[in-house]
Amino acid sequence: MKTELNGKISPIKKISLLLFFINVCFCSAQAQIEHMSVRSINGTGFNSCFEHEKSGNFLGSLSGVLRLVKNGSKDVLTYNFRNEESDLRLVYDEDEIYDVSRKNYIFRRNDIKLRYTTYFWANCFEIILNGDTCSYNVIDGSCDFVIDGINWQYDTSDNRELLSLTFTKDVGLWKQRGNGKRLSSYVVKAGSKLLFNISRKKSRTW
């Protein structure tokens, strides 16, 4: 059977070309996503003891070191944390689309503010520095991607839970502009480590 008539592309070939084009676009988009992030480890999400908690505030502390490089600079900014006050805030998701709550690990100091968030199988890391909010956020869409370059580990006892974050490679943080565009702002250097030590006893409402 001929697939071309009078020099024109037949409907069958048009459909084949369209399917090929769609497949190429999908693979290209998927490659861009996987360049920025990776799928959740075994699709298991985060094995925190707070996984099924809907709301609450839990006090704790932060220890570790965060090393940053500002875009366009070679200077390394080092922030040390030594058992400094932090907290875990659970924000209830009324729709419970993927998860019952967002788990926000929050630290505030005059020179820097940090927030690490998990929701379902996805996460976000954010800093506020010199008035600029910069983040890497993959809590969107299907919520089954995590930031490539952050390893986590939970250790739980009767009274407390430890969340250890290790940056295994450089992780870029972005600043959102009013027009929706993102600007590269800071890079968290590989080797940075953060340890949240959180009480399992619910404290105050906020």
Residue 205 lies in a domain: no
Residues 6+ apart with CB under 8 A from 18: none
17-68 residue pLDDT tens: 555 444 444 443 333 333 344 444 444 568 899 999 999 999 999 999 999 9
Same domain? 121 vs 183:
yes
Which phi and psi angles does 28 have, rounded to 5°?
-65, -45
**67, 158: one domain:** yes
Quote the pLDDT of residue 30.
Answer: 39
What pLDDT, on a 0 to 100 scale, did the predictor assign at position 108?
A: 97
Please check whether residues 78 and 180 belong to one and the same domain. Answer: yes
Mean pLDDT, residues 169-181: 80
> Is 193 within the bounds of a domain?
yes
Look up the domain containing 20 and give its range.
4-39
pLDDT band at 203 (very low <50, low <70, confident <90, very high): confident
What pLDDT sits at residue 154? Answer: 95
Residue 127 is predicted with a pLDDT of 97
Pair of tokens at residue 115? 């927030």
pLDDT tens figures, 72-96: 899 999 999 999 999 999 999 999 9
Is residue 47 one of the residues assigned to a domain?
A: no
Total number of domains in the chain: 2
The DSSP string of 6-50 is TTEEPHHHHHHHHHHHHHHHHHHHHHHHHHHEEE-GGG-----TT
pLDDT at 4: 46
> pTM of the prediction?
0.78
**Do 14 and 115 have their domain in common?**
no
pLDDT of residue 14: 54
62 and 32 together in one domain: no
Residues 103 and 173 in one domain: yes
